């Protein structure tokens, strides 16, 4: 029996993995196993080969209200049955282990003839997710972001004056943005490029750990952050989603949720950066940063890594500054007025 996989799977999870492999494939023999990198989750993700096919083994290492295997696996299974997520071969919430089909990724952007064509396909994916039977509820997203901001502030990793302007503007969104509303949809809530795979023919969505019933603008804003770069693209993107019903109110909600998501991801990155350093460590306090474009180029050239302290700290600050820049524009004031 090939037990090589035991050398890279944590000992505390080996019994659960053994059970998963036997139930999924009838044997715990694996031809190959490779730990995959790239995500920000605490879960361990492996590419495994059983027989002649390749799969993904996912082991959730920390479970809590946010990282709940029961909710995650239910959302993933629903999406897989609709052909949005890869097929699920095994999922055991008690053991926090799943096995799904592996999608060999092709370059998504270069496949489409134009950015508008790509955005149209992404909208089809978002609409398919939002049309799924309603996922379980978890939290009002805006309330959740408020909690993340409180956690960040309690860290005292940056002087209060460094982020005072950022959060002063953000308070306007906190006061104006609708909370605890009806009309929520099934939402993935983390549609970043790492979670969107293209097999050469269709788009697949993976990593459903933050999926729950939510405001539709969260998925739209997160996709927009990575793929919508001009006013023309934004208009095309939103019109493809809302159709003829697109209004200034929709545009305002989308724009404001983009700033919410910048703040949300910033607090996550900064908390992760703080976790790497000792409690008495003095963090770099300057809020001067390169542009998002420059940062993405450095990351692409492997000159900075999001898994490092420096990468997390810098990216968190860049996201805060991106939100601040947008919140100081005339569009921000108009958007606040449009939804008030």
Domain ranges of the chain: 4-101, 108-339
| 8 Å CB contact between 207 and 39 | yes
37 has a pLDDT exceeding 90 = no
Mean pLDDT along residues 162-171: 97
Residue 1: pLDDT band (50, 70, 90) is very low
Going edge to edge, which strands form the sheet with 88-92?
Answer: 32-35, 44-50, 53-59, 97-101, 88-92
User: What is 108-339's CATH topology?
Assistant: Aminoglycoside 3'-phosphotransferase; Chain: A, domain 2 (3.90.1200)
Mean confidence (pLDDT) of the chain: 94
Q: What CA–CA distance (Å, rounded) separates 66 from 211? A: 10
Residue 66: pLDDT band (50, 70, 90) is confident
Residue 39: pLDDT band (50, 70, 90) is low
Indicate the Cα dihedral angle 262, 244, 202, 100, nearest 10°: 60
The pLDDT of residue 337 is 97
Q: What CA–CA distance (Å, rounded) separates 58 from 92? A: 11
**Global pTM value:** 0.94
| 8 Å CB contact between 293 and 253 | no
The pLDDT of residue 247 is 98
Q: What CA–CA distance (Å, rounded) separates 257 from 318? A: 17
What CATH superfamily is the domain 4-101?
Phosphorylase Kinase; domain 1 (3.30.200.20)
Q: What CA–CA distance (Å, rounded) separates 189 from 177? A: 18
């Amino acid at each position: 029996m090939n037990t090589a996989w035991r050398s890279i799977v944590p000992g505390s999870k080996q019994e659960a993995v053994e059970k998963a492999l036997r139930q999924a494939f009838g044997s715990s023999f694996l031809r190959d196993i490779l730990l995959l990198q790239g995500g920000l989750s605490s879960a361990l993700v492996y590419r495994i080969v059983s027989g002649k096919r390749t799969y993904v083994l996912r082991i959730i290492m920390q479970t809590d209200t946010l990282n709940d295997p029961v909710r995650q696996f239910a959302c993933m299974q629903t999406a897989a049955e609709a052909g949005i997520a890869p097929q699920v071969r095994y999922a055991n919430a008690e053991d926090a282990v799943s096995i799904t089909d592996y999608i060999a990724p092709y370059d998504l952007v270069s496949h489409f003839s134009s950015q508008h064509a790509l955005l149209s396909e992404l909208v089809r994916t978002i609409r398919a997710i939002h049309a799924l039977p309603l996922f379980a509820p978890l939290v009002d997203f805006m309330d959740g972001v408020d909690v993340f901001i409180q956690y960040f502030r309690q860290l005292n990793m940056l002087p209060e004056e460094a982020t005072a302007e950022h959060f002063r503007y953000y308070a306007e969104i906190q006061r104006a943005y609708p909370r605890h509303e009806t009309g929520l949809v099934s939402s993935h809530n983390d549609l970043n490029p790492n979670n969107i795979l293209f097999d050469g023919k269709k788009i697949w969505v993976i990593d459903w750990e933050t999926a729950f019933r939510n405001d539709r603008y969260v998925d739209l804003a997160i996709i927009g952050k990575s793929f919508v770069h001009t006013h023309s693209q934004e208009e095309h993107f939103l019109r493809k989603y809302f159709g003829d019903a697109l209004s200034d109110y929709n545009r305002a909600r989308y724009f404001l949720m983009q700033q919410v998501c910048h703040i949300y991801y910033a607090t996550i990155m900064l908390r992760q950066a703080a976790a790497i350093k000792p409690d008495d460590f003095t963090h770099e306090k300057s809020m001067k940063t390169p542009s998002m474009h420059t940062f993405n180029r450095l990351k692409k050239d492997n000159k900075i890594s999001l898994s490092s302290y420096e990468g997390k700290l810098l990216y968190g600050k860049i996201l805060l500054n991106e939100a601040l820049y947008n919140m100081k524009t005339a569009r921000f004031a108009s958007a606040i007025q449009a939804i008030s």
